[in-house]
Amino acid sequence: MSENTGRAPSSTGQVAAAAARPSVIQLVFREKAALYAAYMPLFSDGGLFVPTTREYKLGEDIYLLLSLPEDPQRYPVAGKVGWVTPANASGGRTQGVGVRFPTDEKTRVLKVKIEEILGTTISSSKPTQTI
């Protein structure tokens, strides 16, 4: 048996465990224009840009609770950071991260739903928060 059996974890162990937990971010899109600005079709499974001043690393887990325009349902997405826009980025870009959607059926359906909401807007040359 280990010496640590029955003891509370050390404070450094608690900090490491907390740091390893994915962030949970609630995103509420009330307007199609805001969804267009955040949507990232460059990810094959879709993704969304999340404005944040918190620093993330590529590949870091992020859990989104997503609300779409005119839809009362909240969609959970267990994504990963696939894009980082740092503070003071060129062109006045908003600091934040692009969250890449996972490859699963529920999220594929969500991607289709987002693209249906955006309709022809998705091919617009209007700038977004990332490109």
Phi, psi of 124 (to 5 degrees): -65, 155
DSSP 7: S
Residue-wise pLDDT for 64-86, tens only, equals 999 999 899 999 999 999 999 88
Q: Which residues of the chain have pLDDT under 70?
A: 1-20, 120-131
Structural domain spans, the chain? 22-123
Record the pTM. Answer: 0.75
pLDDT value of position 2: 41
Q: How far apart are the first and last CA of the chain?
A: 56
Topology (CATH level 3) of domain 22-123: Thrombin, subunit H (2.40.10)
